[in-house]
Amino acid sequence: MPQEAVLTMIIQAIVVVAVVFSCFAGLTVIERKLIGRFQARRGPNRAGPFGLLQPLADIGKLTFKEDFVPAGANRWVFRLAPMVPLIAAVAALSLIPFGGVHDWFGHTITFYGTDLNVGVLVMLALSSLGFYGLMLGGWASGNKYSLLGAARNAAQLVSYEVAMGLSIVGVVMISQSLSLVEIANDQASGLWYILVQPVAFVVFMIAAFAETNRTPFDLGEAESELIAGYNLEYGSVKFAMFLAAEYVAMIIISAFAATLFLGGPNGPWLPGFIWLGIKVGALLFIFIWVRATLPRFRYDRLMKFGWKVLIPVSMANIIITAVVVGTVFAD
């Protein structure tokens, strides 16, 4: 590969990672302010104008807190566990198409890291990999409550990962591709897949809440039952890494959903990355809205909902889609 192309890829990666982590910091403030409005209170308003410096205050507070490893913990795994979900979330960024191919100042710039012909499968694999960090962190802590939280995460991953994978099959059958770039390009005509796969979109978004360990599916860290769950023994920077991984995963899964169902970067007049940002912002608002509205599920009901509702609905959607797609191609 030419040296210039390598340099371009490195610059692109740095820019994308910097933008996403900046969005993570802003998202923490936006979420707290929105939840405050939902609950008839103000939210953060002390650190900086309108509370905009609250992320810096949080980072400073966590950085100077005591960082310790419990006596009964597996030290190496305990230290490495917070890095796994963060690395998986950042790696998934390379698969999201933020736009097409453009020529700027004589240079060809692609607004995506890589176009894999199995991009959907790799994205699902990376989203699953993030859960391993939560499970390893709970196991390595040497705490029974942390271990219970990790076990809950493992069972939750299996049930909702199946539903999420099945919800995507309809999109893949219509697009006839597993490449995220091709799926986005297929919707460039304006026919977004949410219009022909609304059930799949709803199932995907419900599973996305479980994938990102968000309310009402945050049973791995239920403070009323497990004190804090898998991250009970974590503090300081390690806790901040788990927190960052959760919010970055929210951004990635929203971008994944926007690519599959909402046309990705396609839209009139504005550049593609702005359209993708608008769609991701709308989906993130849904994440926050649900957190402020719904109570946490009881664990047995969470599992029943995954196995007895989402998976059968996804299977029925696949059968119907297969019949329709087969009829169209037959004609």
DSSP string, 21-75: HHHHHHHHHHHHHHHHHHTTS----SSSGGGTTHHHHHHHHHHTS-----TTS-H
How high is the pLDDT of residue 158?
81
Q: What SS3 state is found at 296? A: coil
How high is the pLDDT of residue 55?
81
Residues 124-140 have pLDDT tens digits of: 888 888 778 888 888 88
Q: Indicate the pLDDT class of residue 205, thresholds 50, 70 and 90.
A: very high
Give the domain range for residue 135. 3-330
Angstrom distance (rounded) from CA 229 to CA 220? 6
Residue 5 pLDDT greater than 60, yes or no: no
Number of Cβ atoms within 10 Å of the Cβ of 165: 17
Mean of the pLDDT values across residues 232-247? Answer: 81
How high is the pLDDT of residue 111?
66
Q: What SS3 state is found at 117? A: coil
Residue 272 pLDDT greater than 70, yes or no: yes
Distances (CA, A) of 93 to 112, 199, 206, 246: 8, 26, 21, 14
How high is the pLDDT of residue 153?
81
Where would I find the beta strands (DSSP E) of the chain?
101-104, 107-110
Task: Return the DSSP state at 118.
Answer: T
Tell me the average pLDDT of the chain.
82
Angstrom distance (rounded) from CA 241 to CA 79? 11
Residues 7-49 have pLDDT tens digits of: 666 666 677 677 777 777 788 888 888 888 888 888 888 887 8
**The model's pTM:** 0.87
Q: Indicate the pLDDT class of residue 283, thresholds 50, 70 and 90.
A: very high
Give the number of domains in the chain.
1
